[in-house]
Amino acid sequence: MKKRLLLIICALYGLLANAQSFRDDFIKALDAKDMKKAETVLKAWDLANANDAELYVAYFNFFTVKSMEAGALSSNGFEVSYAKQALDYISEGIERFPMRLDMRIVKIYLLGELHNYPAYIEEIFSLIAYSDKIKNNWKEADLLSVNYPEDMFFGIVADCQELLFSKEDPSLFKEIIRISDEMLKYYPKHTQSHIAKSTVYVALKEYDNALETLLKANDFDSTNSILLFNIAYLYSIKGDKANAKKYYELTITHCSDKEEDLKEAAKNQLKEL
């Protein structure tokens, strides 16, 4: 029995060693822009261990680079057929290893670069739903646990919303609100989602909706200096100087040592009032 167990352990070690070797060789080939060598390594890796999660990431990287090379002169910098292959591989990887946060990130990133916003938004919704399902027990390369997984997840969603907002497209503004509402369904005390919604409402000049959204967050996050500053700003827009003054003063009170710029901005606003 001990001998058999030892043989199994040795076999597993051999697989892991080979996988690491394939990955190292692939990275070296890709760094050297030797796509023929990279493809050769991928084929050998696939034959040796098609169940390796890192293989899907490697295929994604390979076809993304190919897409960028072939589409250098296109409007978005990518060639469509190679980009589709990259997305197909990473989608399969996510299906097989759904806890891999890095796979989800790169898929969302590429969809954004391709300006495929319907799929981009759909993938964000999938990310949010799965975050709740696994309670943010995300994994990264080699299925290691992600450090500060909830913060990482929150940051990804915020970055995605920021990209959508930067497009200055009213139809995408509505999607930011939908994403925020989806976040709040699972994380009702997620202040950043309230702030994201209010930012869209301000852009649409729906100041009452923006203020109502921020005041909801203030009920459970009363010392958030950015939140307080935004509330003060909205009261100022609405001509309510008394409340604007109150919330600018609260902003100054609750600013941390790292928020000197925000504190100075609040002081300047008070002077103008």
Q: What six digits make up the tokens of 73? A: 């002169």
Q: Please list the pLDDT of the chain residue by residue as tens digits (273 residues).
A: 444 444 444 443 344 445 678 888 889 999 999 999 999 999 999 998 999 999 999 999 999 999 999 988 888 899 999 999 999 999 999 999 999 999 999 999 999 999 999 999 999 999 999 999 999 999 999 889 999 999 999 999 999 999 999 999 999 999 999 999 999 999 999 999 999 999 999 999 999 999 999 999 999 999 999 999 999 999 999 999 999 999 999 999 999 989 999 999 999 999 988
Residues 190 and 151: their CA atoms lie apart, in Å, by 11
